[in-house]
Homo-oligomer: A and B are copies of this chain.
């Protein structure tokens, strides 16, 4: 068939989107921040440096794998720094870089927003659920 299917058109859109992402820094970083654990790790580090296992304990439900993965990408992006102390046993500390601290400030603002407006959201949800009974 000569005419494109909806799927083909959307795939084209995906390609365009990738190109768009490559040329659009902000969306790239925005996407990174949308990761479930990223905000939690940054929040956990915003009060000061933390060891690997302490981090794991402060973020309930995270697996070692995801913790490492998250912390790695954040290190790569220059958001956190990783310090290895070659004692026995080894000790590894993670800490927000200045860059990371500036970002943490913004996330804190979002968190504060969530706290102040949660009541409104809850009310809105209840109203919505009342009007749209399952």
A112 to B27, CA, bound (A): 10
A124 to B33, CA, bound (A): 17
Complex contact A30–B121 (CB within 8 A): no
**For window 83-134 of chain A, which residues contact chain B by CB distance below 8 Å?**
99, 102-103, 106-107, 109-115, 117-118, 120-125, 128-129
A99 to B113, CA, bound (A): 10
Complex contact B114–A77 (CB within 8 A): no
Contact check: which of B78, B103, B111 meets A30 at CB < 8 Å? B111
Contact check: which of B30, B123, B125 meets A110 at CB < 8 Å? B30
Complex contact A120–B106 (CB within 8 A): no
Q: Count residues on chain A whose CB falls below 8 Å from chain B CBs.
A: 50
Contact check: which of B33, B36, B106 meets A31 at CB < 8 Å? B36
Complex contact A78–B109 (CB within 8 A): no
With A10-B63, A30-B39, A106-B110 known as contacts, the answer to whether A78 contacts B20 (CB < 8 A) is no
* Chain B residue at minimal CB-CB distance from A110: B106
Known: A77-B124, A99-B121. 20 other contacts (CB 8 A): A13-B60, A16-B60, A17-B61, A26-B111, A28-B114, A29-B118, A29-B121, A30-B40, A30-B111, A33-B110, A34-B35, A34-B36, A76-B125, A77-B121, A78-B123, A99-B120, A103-B113, A106-B106, A106-B109, A109-B109
